[in-house]
Amino acid sequence: MDAHAKDHARLFSHGQFARVVSFSPRQIRNATRGVEGINAKIALVITRTVGTMACAYVFAAIALISLPAAISTGQVIIIVAWIAQTFLQLVLLSIIMVGQSVQSAASDARAEKEFADTETILDRLDVHTAGGINDILDAIHAVERLVAAAGPSASGTGLAQ
């Protein structure tokens, strides 16, 4: 497993994945509370329902019902049309939506981790915090004092001037 895959697996646990791709009426109800307007609520319910693997399986079953009729025609054009227009459009719609939800959740998890890492770095670089940049500033001031004490001819750089 490469480093990217390990990071992805660490950031995006199985529980988070299950929440993104599963059908949960409770989550849909909770999401609609944060949206105003009937059209927005309807759009949210449809999107959250169609964008699940459960819906992809239902669409696959619906598409497979018409497969025997397409095959019985014996016409290649009808079979190709069934594959392209019925199966792929129905099933891939849900699968693409699930993929987008997974990518979005993984991106959110990476952003949260990056924010936490940035806070940690900034905390360690705080001038008033022991360690970090405070120690570096103390070392710079000590070097400046040594250079100033040695005089301008000893430094050769003119820092103490």
Asked if 102 and 128 sit in the same domain, the reply is no
Please tell me the chain's helix, strand, coil percentages from 3-state DSSP, rounded to the nearest 5: 80, 0, 20
Q: What is the pLDDT of residue 35?
A: 77
* 63 within 8 A of 88, measured Cβ to Cβ: no
Asked if 104 and 157 sit in the same domain, the reply is no
Domain holding 128, by residue range, is: 123-161
Q: What is the pLDDT of residue 39?
A: 86
- Give the angle subtended at the CA of 10 by the CAs of 7 and 15, to the nearest 5°: 140
Asked if 46 and 75 sit in the same domain, the reply is yes
Spans in the chain with pLDDT lower than 70? 1-23, 125-132, 152-161
Q: What is the pLDDT of residue 77?
A: 95
Task: Tell me the C-alpha distance between 147 and 24, whole Å.
Answer: 69
Nearest Cα to Cα of residue 105 among 17, 46, 44: 17
Asked if 96 and 154 sit in the same domain, the reply is no
Please list, residue by residue across 41-74, b when 16 or more beta carbons sit within 10 angstroms of its beta carbon and e when fewer do.
Answer: beeebeebebbbeebbebbeeebeeeeeebeeee
Q: What is the dihedral sign for C-alpha 62, 67, 69, 75?
A: positive
Nearest Cα to Cα of residue 132 among 150, 120, 117, 148: 120
In a domain, 3, yes or no: no
Q: What is the pLDDT of residue 112?
A: 92
Asked if 127 and 88 sit in the same domain, the reply is no
* 11 within 8 A of 109, measured Cβ to Cβ: yes
Asked if 23 and 98 sit in the same domain, the reply is yes
Give residue-wise pLDDT tens across range 66-105: 999 999 999 999 999 999 988 888 889 889 988 888 888 8
- Cα 139 to the center of its chain, rounded Å: 41
